[in-house]
Structure 1
C-alpha cells in the first residue's frame, strides 16, 4: 500500500524543471508513489477503477501541478469529474466514505513572482485564493486540507533554487505524514 500518493498533473512534464525537481525530491522518501496522470492517460480517458483503487490504497493524497491560466490543468478536472463523482455520488457507501479523513495537499507551481499574485499584482488574486475550488473539493470529500505548497518563478529558478525547493517539499510531505 502506498502511504503518500502524489497525483501529478503536468501536460509537459518532460519539459518541466520545477515539477521534476519536486518529484525527484519526493521520490527519495519511503512510501511515496508518484502517478503521472498525463503519461497514464495521454488520450484523457481515465481508468476510473484503477484510480479509485489507487486512492483507496493511499493514506495521504497530493495533487501536484503547474497553475495554468489561473486554473488546474484540464486532465485534473477530467479526473475529478470521473473519479470523485463516482466515489462520492454513485458509490459513496463503498468508496467515498472509505476515502474520507485522508489528508490532502496541493503542490502547485506558478511561473510568475509571488508579488504578482495578490490585490496589487498583475494576477489580482493570491495563488492560494486561486486554489479555493480544490479546498472546496477537499471539504466536500472529507479530506483534511493543508495550506498548499507553492513554488513561484518555476521556469526561472536555477538548479540550486530547485534543489532547495525540493528539500522544502520533502519537509512538507514529511509533515503531512506525521
Structure 2
C-alpha cells in the first residue's frame, strides 16, 4: 500500500469528511458493481452500496492501515450482499427458465395452457425453491449465481472472494444435496 493511501485511511479514522468522501468517490463504482451483480436491481444495489459504505465508515477505525484497503472493502460489500440475499431468499423467475425450444417457461405455459400441468409445475417449482432455500449459504449462493445468473466459476470466485476450487466444490456438493433432497421428495429419479 502506498503512503498516500495510508494517510487517507488515517484521516478517515479521524472522521475527516474530505477523506471519507475521497474513499467514497474512489470505491463507489466498485462497490455498486458488486451489489448490482448480487441483486440485478438498481434500487437494491444502491441501497446495498449505501449500507456497505456505512459499514466501512463504522469500522474504518479498526482497519489495519498496513494492509490493502480494496480486499477489506470487497469483503464488507460481499458480506452485506450475502446478508441481503439471505433475507430475501432465493427466487426463480419464469422469465429466466428456458424450455428446450428456447422459449421462456412463462411463454410456454401461456401458449400451451393446461391447468393441470400448470398446477403441477407450480407445485414442483415451489418444492425446488423450498429445497434451494434450505441449502447452506455456501452452496446456495454459488448455485444461484451459476445457474440463474449464468456466471462463470471465475466470476463467482471473484465476486464472492472465495477461491475458485472452493466454488467448484461447493457447486458440486450443492447440486448433490439438492438432487438427494429432490429424490427424497419424488421429483428426481
Indicate whether the TM-score tops 0.5.
no
Q: Specify which structure has the bigger relative contact order, considering alpha-carbon pairs within 8 angstroms and separated by 6 or more residues.
A: 1
Q: Which structure has greater helix proportion?
A: 2
TM-score (norm 2): 0.25
Q: Which structure has greater strand proportion?
A: 1
